[in-house]
A and B are shown apart, each in its own frame.
Chain A
Amino acid sequence: MKFLGFIIVCLTGALLLYGTGEFPGWGDPHSPASIHLSNDYIEKAVEQTQVPNLVTAVLADYRGFDTMFETAVVFCAGLACFLLLRDFKEKKERFYRHTPTGVILHVKDSKKVLKTGKEFEHMDKDWVPSDLIIKTICRILIPFIQIYALYVVAHGDFSPGGGFQGGVIFGSSLILLAISYDLKVLVKRVKEKILGIFSAIGVLIYVGIAAICMPMGGNFLDYSKLAPLVPGDPHHVRALGMLGVEIGVGIAVTAVMVIIYINIVSEGRHEEGL
């Protein structure tokens, strides 16, 4: 197998290199790729869409259709992880800590569930005493991370950023919560049901905005036809449309990030993670 693999790899590499023979030099400003379409984008995009960040303009408008399915892919991944891993069966054995004494109880049968309140605390099997410093620092950091994420989403039109980036950052803030405290905290804060619904709603916002354009008399995704619906300068309607879909993307990505994380670290049990 190894040898065969090696042969295949070498053949592929040779093929690809053979192809590079006629490539234009790297960074050649006159290569077809840099002439044919990109010039149109660079020159026309701003006046057509009022969005100086060309990547966002192309991503969310010219090729917005791609991006919609890309978001659908994200949604699909979340759904897949849920379907594949989520396991609603209760875990067999549980560990509780009696807060006042610090005594640890080991409950064998899954039926018996102690009420976790101020007296008992449900804890992970391989439990490490949670570190105060980490907890505190993360508690301070997380809000800033989330603000930053929102900024990245909102400001994607003018500076590097956009729905995906923002969504990822926001999701990672939540994941940080799960890492610094433990999974139960996250699951308690962000209900699984909410995540599931939001992952769909995020995409729905995108598809919805795109679909509304059709009854408004435009083609699918044609934001310019939304002018009657949105207040303000009709010039900016495209930019606003993009902002809308970026928000949708952000929501979807956040939700899916968390879904994937929760399901994978807890093998779908949602009881204890890393």
Chain B
Amino acid sequence: MTDLLTLIVAKYNYWLYVILMMIGLYAMIAKNNLIKKLVGMNIFQTAIILFYVSIGYKRDATIPIIQNAHGGNDAHAAVIHAADYINPLPHVLMLTAIVVSVATFGVAMALAVRVYQRYQTLEEDELRMRLVDIGPEK
């Protein structure tokens, strides 16, 4: 029990990300309203971002912007300790991931608008009934 606790404490943000992701996934699968599903989708992707960013964190290190390196050349003078700066790579990746998720979300919203224009509802069960109404497929 105690060691489990220590485990959790040592990696609590990984646990958090898992929980967050489960919430998002559940919303995507189980919710009936398309917008709620979209919200779930965002939570899901945010969880992943949290995960990556926590990979990048390094104890007692600062943001990856090299101090007193303005103008570049004297950067050689100031010697750089890798331990002082956190890992920049995950942040880069997540910048990309954020943009991708935003783009996806935008398209999804546009689609939701289209669906609403056509069926005047965003509840899945009602949509199903509407689909039955408009008869056999093209």
Contacts and interface: CB of A to CB of B under 8 A. Distances in A.
Q: Is there any pair of Cβ atoms, one from A and one from B, under 8 angstroms apart in the complex? A: yes
Contacts of A8: 25, 29
B113 A54 contact: no
Task: Count chain B CB atoms within 10 A of each CB in A55, A73, A260 and give the residue with the most.
Answer: A55
26 contacts: A2-B30, A9-B22, A12-B25, A13-B22, A16-B21, A20-B18, A26-B11, A26-B13, A31-B55, A33-B56, A33-B89, A39-B82, A43-B80, A46-B72, A50-B73, A52-B67, A54-B64, A55-B65, A58-B89, A58-B92, A74-B99, A80-B107, A84-B110, A160-B63, A260-B110, A263-B110
Top 10 closest pairs, chain A to chain B, by CB: A5-B29, A77-B103, A38-B87, A50-B72, A52-B69, A54-B64, A27-B59, A5-B30, A54-B88, A39-B82
Interface residues of B, number: 59
B129 to A, nearest CB: 16
Q: Specify the main secondary structure of chain B where it touches its partner.
A: helix
Interface of B: 10-15, 18-19, 21-22, 25-26, 29-30, 54-59, 61, 63-67, 69-70, 72-73, 75-76, 80, 82-83, 85-93, 95-96, 99-100, 102-104, 106-107, 109-111, 113-114, 117
B64 A42 contact: yes
Interface in A1-56: 1-2, 4-6, 8-10, 12-13, 16-17, 20, 23, 25-29, 31, 33-34, 37-39, 41-43, 45-47, 50-55
Nearest to B70: A158
A33 B55 contact: yes
B88 A58 contact: yes
A268 B116 CA distance: 13
A13 B96 contact: no
A43 B83 CA distance: 10
A24 to B, nearest CB: 9
A217 to B, nearest CB: 24
A2 B66 CA distance: 50
Contact of A76 (B75, B103, B110): B103
A2 B26 CA distance: 8
Q: Specify the main secondary structure of chain A where it touches its partner.
A: helix
Task: Count chain A CB atoms within 10 A of each CB in B29, B61, B104, B106 and give the residue with the most.
Answer: B106
Contact of A26 (B10, B63, B104, B117): B10
B14 A235 contact: no
Interface residues of A, number: 65
Contacts of B25: 5, 8-9, 12
A29 B100 contact: no
Contacts, number: 179
B65 A264 contact: no
Contact of B65 (A23, A31, A43, A54): A54
A164 interface: yes
A109 interface: no
Interface stretch (A59-67, A98-106, A138-146): A59-67
A264 B113 contact: yes
B26 A9 contact: yes
Contacts of A9: 22, 25-26, 29
A239 B72 contact: yes
A4 B76 CA distance: 59
A26 B107 contact: no
A236 interface: yes
Contacts of A39: 82
Interface in A65-115: 66-67, 70, 73-74, 76-77, 80-81, 84-85
